[in-house]
Homo-oligomer: A and B are copies of this chain.
Amino acid sequence: MFNVSLVQRLQEELKANPGSLPFDEILYCNIGNPQSLGQLPITFFREVLALCDHPTILDKAETQGLFSADSIERAWQILDQIPGRATGAYSHSQGIKGLRDTIAAGIEARDGFPANPNDIFLTDGASPAVHMMMQLLISSEKDGILCPIPQYPLYSASIALHGGSLIPYYLDEETGWGLEVSELKKQLEEARSKGISVRALVVINPGNPTGQVLAEENQRDIVEFCKKEGLVLLADEVYQENIYVPEKKFHSFKKVARSMGYGDNDLCLVSFQSVSKGYHGECGKRGGYMEITGFSPEVREQIYKVASVNLCSNISGQILASLVMSPPKVGDESYESYSAEKDGILESLARRAKTLEDAFNSLEGITCNKAEGAMYLFPRIRLPEKAIKAAEAAKTAPDLFYCRHLLNATGVVVVPGSGFGQVPGTWHFRCTILPQEDKIPAIVSRLTDFHKSFMDEYRD
């Protein structure tokens, strides 16, 4: 993060000398970390986790008064799926079989197509899963991975870490961060002409930092492209629950591929899922999974070996991943409170997204696509020449210059577009929609006032 130390300094200054800065609190719009900003966990999930952590209270009378009946029932079910009910034991390196069964059933219910528990690898969040796949796909800089620009920098970092080549493809800001297959083709061919063997295509849907949700037809074209070109499709689907517009729906790439009649022999596909995102936002639990289909037994064996290196992912995260894929159902005691919590969070996120989007679009020189999904807006700022010159003089990128001024003037923290990649000569920043709803008006007014005075200062 570009300005962690600056933010820390400001935070300390606010504490030491209240009133010394032009703002009275830091407003974090920089990281996708909902619970750090006051979002509460889903009660049912936490009840089950607590009971699995301390199962000896399960049959005590007081427990009935403290925990919902279905959380107690679910905890028993989960414990029965764990060999010896030992939540403190290493599990199978892919994760506990019974939990993978539950997740596979959840995927089937979501997609309407079969899912195999042996295709599930439970991981400590999605990041280690991405690293595992990069490790397997990359053996030298001659191995290329097609990645969206802008992109969540986990991908560029992981490709660099494993010594491969990132082959960028640009999302089209004009069409709401559209993913054009013609652009994929162009970049693929260019990479191949340089002797790079392109192994895989990364698609982030819903998009990070761009917030778009792909249309099903677009997904079909992407599947077709991967099949034709023999690319592994790495589908980052961690925001699958975060959709804010009625005209868009999440479709997993597996569902799209299967509905086109493509099975295991047609396409190598990896879907990443995480407990950190969605309406639950359980980042600190480090849970997630990848579902891998279409790989040969030899490659699966390699993936298993890499998964075994750290023995297994944490069991609480495994349990939570199973809960996320099988939440309470109609008729369960917790169903109503669960639904109210979930809908409350998602509806509020949708309102926050819309308010921030409108605010950005009302500002001189800023245009902002809709956050159809995920947790981010990625507005474009057309900076005046004078600002760009001032940034040059200060030896910073113009977007960083803008974001730093914003932070110093308002306490609002956003991330410059250069961290995600952008079309050269364009400038953006990523702003999360995660601050609690009562903070949004302050963010809007601070942003608006700042932007006006910034433009007044630097307008050509």
Contacts and interface: CB of A to CB of B under 8 A. Distances in A.
A88 B124 contact: no
A283 B88 CA distance: 6
A35 interface: yes
A309 B134 CA distance: 14
A265 interface: no
B284 A315 contact: yes
B33 A89 contact: yes
A137 interface: no
A67 B309 CA distance: 37
A49 B37 CA distance: 22
A53 B56 contact: no
A164 interface: no
Interface residues of A, number: 57
Interface string A251-286: 000000000000000000000000010001111111
A11 to B, nearest CB: 10
Interface string A43-61: 1001101110110110010
B35 A88 contact: yes
Nearest to A128: B310
B286 A313 contact: yes
A111 to B, nearest CB: 27
A127 B310 contact: yes
A65 B66 CA distance: 11
Interface in A44-97: 46-47, 49-51, 53-54, 56-57, 60, 62-63, 65-67, 83-84, 86-91
A31 interface: yes
A118 to B, nearest CB: 13
A285 B38 CA distance: 25
A283 B86 CA distance: 10
- A-B pairs with the 4 shortest C-beta distances? A36-B89, A50-B54, A286-B314, A284-B315
Interface of A: 31, 33-38, 41, 43, 46-47, 49-51, 53-54, 56-57, 60, 62-63, 65-67, 83-84, 86-91, 124-125, 127-128, 131, 157-158, 161, 276, 280-286, 309-317
30 contacts: A36-B84, A36-B90, A37-B84, A38-B86, A43-B56, A46-B53, A46-B56, A47-B54, A49-B54, A50-B53, A50-B54, A57-B67, A60-B65, A62-B62, A62-B63, A62-B66, A88-B280, A89-B283, A90-B276, A90-B283, A91-B284, A124-B310, A124-B313, A131-B309, A131-B310, A283-B311, A284-B314, A286-B312, A314-B314, A316-B316
